[in-house]
Structures are given as structure tokens and as C-alpha cells.
Chain A
Amino acid sequence: MLLGPSLAVSAVLFALGVAGVLLRRNAIVIFMCVELMLNAVNLTFVALAQQLGVAGQIFVFFVMAVAAAEAGVGLAIILAIYRHRHTVNLQNINLLKG
């Protein structure tokens, strides 16, 4: 039975992704950490699909589609920001700060 270990690994990977988002300032690395979190959730889906039927695997399919769309748009936004500010360090991107 791999359900318990899978959920544990997925929890660790998700927490690592959150830690990356909180600790890094490089926008691209933060984006990669978001992908890491999505993958941790995918692992949960697949592990539960083994117990509850194949619908979980279909949800992973949709998560991958959303991740692909998100990566395309997100990286385009990062490119646009870089063109204006010549940096992807989030410390220097503080337009909304009062």
C-alpha cells in the first residue's frame, strides 16, 4: 500500500514549494516553485486514484493543461516586466507599494 507514503511525499514537496515561493526573490524561480506545488498535488491525485478510481488521473490531465497555460501566460508576463524594468528580482518591482 503506497497511499500513506505518497501523501507524505506529496506534503513534503508542497511545503518545499511554498518555502521556495516565500524565500526567493527571483520571479522565474518563484514560478518554478509554483510548478513544484502543482506536481505535489498531482501526486496526491494519482495516489488517491489508485484507491478511488481512475477519475483522479483525469484530474491530473486537467491540472497539466492548466499548468501549461499558466506557464505560457506567466512567462510572457515576466518577459513584459523585464522589458520595462530590466530585472526579474521582485524586490525592485514594487509599483503597488504606497
Chain B
Amino acid sequence: MDGTLIIFWAFAGLAVVSALSCITRRSPVASALWLVVTLFSLAALFVLLDAQFIAVLQVLVYAGAIMVLFLFVIMLLNLGRPGPTDLKGPVGLGVGVLLAGLLLVQLLALRQAAPGLALAPGAVARAAAEQGMVPAVARPLFGAYLVPFEITSILLLAAIVGAVVLAKRKL
């Protein structure tokens, strides 16, 4: 077992354990902070998978912006102190765990359908080393995927307008 694999499993274990804590903590603030730990360990996994730019985006956008938004709303609604548990009753709990376990088995079985190698091993890392990390992602983004990129800006504009309309008391 080489070093990369050891680091991978360390961060993968951290991600799974903190995700488990996230869905079981009673206080929403604790859940949010455990989710931040999950997001950071996922960023580490992205680095191991030759996606350094995506890892930086993960920390900046997810752990930075989105989770701050969540904590902000928790603070705004004054939900910080843990109340009575909001877990479902025994029947709901059993059904939920059963369904999630079933889905897990299906997803693990789906790994059999993973496609074979299309690129030589290390091709993505080599391209990033040749062109630079950001250009390797940015060139296709502003070339072949330009139209989806522009549509994303419209989506974000619609989201801004929607958020203002929904959250404002009176326009």
C-alpha cells in the first residue's frame, strides 16, 4: 500500500465519519460544522485525483460561501441551541435506514459498470503540468462549454432575483 492510498483512505474515512456526525447531531450548528469538515476532506480527495483547481473551488465556494450562508440563516432564525431531537420515530427511522442501505448496495453494485481506461494513466496530471492547472480546465470551459457557462450566469441571476423576492418582507 503506497503513500497516496494511505492518505486517500485517511481523508475518505474522515469524510464518511464527519458526514455521519452531520446527519446525527441534534444541533443544526454542529451539523453545519461537521459538513464543513466533510467538504474539506473532499477537497483533499480532489487534490489526490489530480483536480487541484476543483479542490480550491470546493474550499472557496462550498466551505467558504455556501456554508457561511447556512450558518447565517441558522443564526438569523436563532436555531443555535439544540432542541428536542428532530429524528423521526422508530418506524420512520427503520424505513429510512432500510431505504438508504438499499441505495448503498445498489450504488456499490453500480461500480461494476465503471468504464475502462480511455486515457493513459496520469494523462490528466500530465496535461495540467504542461498547460498549467487552471488553463487545463479553463480552455474547454471557455471553448467547447461556452454556452452552458453563459447559461449558468442567467441561472445565477434568476437565483439572486428569486432569493430577494422570497426573503424580502415587502418589495
Interface residues of A (CB under 8 A from B): 1-20, 22-26, 28-29, 31-33, 35-36, 39, 42-43, 46-55, 57-58, 60-62, 64-73, 75-80, 82-83, 88-89
A54 to B136, Cβ gap below 8 A? yes
Given A7-B114, A50-B124, A52-B119, decide whether A71 and B16 contact each other with a Cβ distance below 8 A. no
A18 to B100, Cβ gap below 8 A? yes
Q: Roughly how many angstroms separate A61 CA and B19 CA in the complex, as a whole number?
A: 22
B87 to A24, Cβ gap below 8 A? yes
Interface residues on B, range: 35 or more
Provide the main secondary structure of the chain B interface: helix
Q: Roughly how many angstroms separate A66 CA and B141 CA in the complex, as a whole number?
A: 16
Given A15-B101, A28-B79, decide whether A46 and B54 contact each other with a Cβ distance below 8 A. yes
- Map CB proximity to A onto B124-151 as digits: 1 under 8 Å, 0 otherwise: 1001000000001100110001001000
Given A18-B99, A76-B163, decide whether A54 and B140 contact each other with a Cβ distance below 8 A. yes
Nearest Cβ distance between residue A52 and chain B, in whole angstroms? 5
B49 to A53, Cβ gap below 8 A? no
A32 to B77, Cβ gap below 8 A? no
Q: Roughly how many angstroms separate A82 CA and B69 CA in the complex, as a whole number?
A: 16
Q: Roughly how many angstroms separate A91 CA and B150 CA in the complex, as a whole number?
A: 40
Q: Which residues of B contact A2 (CB under 8 A)?
A: 4-5, 8, 48-49
A-B contact list, 15 entries, CB within 8 Å: A2-B48, A5-B5, A11-B110, A12-B104, A16-B16, A19-B97, A19-B100, A28-B74, A36-B19, A46-B46, A49-B49, A50-B124, A54-B136, A73-B162, A78-B73
